[in-house]
Amino acid sequence: MLLAHSTWPELEARIARSRTVVVPIGSNEQHGPTGLLGTDWMCPEIIAHHAHATGDLLVAPTFNVGMAQHHLGFPGSISLRPSTMIAALRDWSVSLAGHGFDRIYFLNGHGGNVATIEAAFSEIYSEASWRGERRGFALKLKNWWDLPGVAKLCERLYPTGHGSHATPSEIAVTQFAYPDSIKAANYAPQIAPSGPIREALDFRARYADGRMGSDPGLATPEAGGEIVRLAADGLVSDVRAFASETPV
């Protein structure tokens, strides 16, 4: 069930039987010369929407702009500063929890979001801790590449040239979902350099075409489909386990 395609009476009925919601979360940022700017929010959305078609999941709208300050040297990248993102995540979570969702599962597609999402969870839980009250709901963060079996599959598909940004696995997922938007380029070097992440101009100087350690030329829509199906199965079982956690 997609929240955005539902009405409030349908949501009211849903909450009466299930209090768990999945929020795809990512980033809108450059992904090398051939990767779509939406790659990091598209991947968790594609997987969550695929999972909702096969499992009994409620999927919220995608939180599609994240912490991507280091990509701002490339046109089209949009970033929230960490403090803004923490405030937005707090408001999303409290809105959903106010309707009765006491299990909120964030499926993440951008490594640069992780520290900020974790900080947001601490911020949200702190409000209850300071008051000596129970928050009454649980938050969970899962990166899509950490779903059961996905990392192993990506290692098998891409023993070299996977890298950490504009990776063939994430590009393949978008190629599977949006075959009309597949792009090509001559990569030089074929496998991009690796190194640290600092501010935007430093990033652009180190990684001239935006990739980090990757060869996106390895991506195919067929491999993307394999990744999506495995990740969607993992998501259904992971969300089921989260939903059935016994409250203390």
Report the C-alpha gap between 234 and 146 in whole angstroms. Answer: 9
- Shortest Å, Cβ 170 to Ni ion: 5
CB contact at 8 A, 114 and 108? yes
Residue 45 to residues 4, 14, 155: CA-CA distances in angstroms? 13, 21, 22
Q: Where are the alpha helices (DSSP H) in 99-220?
A: 114-131, 150-157, 168-177, 200-206
Treating both helix axes as pointing N-terminal to C-terminal, what angle do 221-243 and 168-177 enclose, rounded to 10 degrees? 90
- Shortest Å, Cβ 43 to Ni ion: 7
- Shortest Å, Cβ 215 to Ni ion: 14
**Chain residues 165-194 in contact with Ni ion, contact rule CB under 5 A:** 170
Nearer to Ni ion, 31 or 49 (CB): 31
Nearer to Ni ion, 40 or 233 (CB): 40
Please give the angle made by the CA atoms of 142, 144 and 146, to the nearest 5 degrees: 70
- Shortest Å, Cβ 42 to Ni ion: 10
Nearer to Ni ion, 170 or 215 (CB): 170
Report the C-alpha gap between 248 and 235 in whole angstroms. Answer: 24
Number of residues that bind Ni ion (CB under 5 A): 2
Treating both helix axes as pointing N-terminal to C-terminal, what angle do 150-157 and 221-243 enclose, rounded to 10 degrees? 170
Nearer to Ni ion, 40 or 238 (CB): 40
Tokens at 34, concatenated: 């051939």
H/E run at residue 105: strand 103-108
- Shortest Å, Cβ 52 to Ni ion: 22
**Chain residues 36-65 in contact with Ni ion, contact rule CB under 5 A:** 40
- Shortest Å, Cβ 14 to Ni ion: 31
Report the C-alpha gap between 216 and 207 in whole angstroms. Answer: 14
Instruction: Write the DSSP symbol of residue 245.
Output: P
> Which span sits near Ni ion by CB under 5 A: 35-43, 173-181, 223-231, 233-241?
35-43
**Chain residues 136-155 in contact with Ni ion, contact rule CB under 5 A:** none
Nearer to Ni ion, 21 or 24 (CB): 24
**Chain residues 100-129 in contact with Ni ion, contact rule CB under 5 A:** none
Nearer to Ni ion, 58 or 65 (CB): 65
When CB distances to Ni ion are compared, the closest residue is 40
Nearer to Ni ion, 40 or 45 (CB): 40
Cα 28 → chain centroid: 11
- Shortest Å, Cβ 44 to Ni ion: 10
**Contact residues for Ni ion, defined by CB under 5 A:** 40, 170
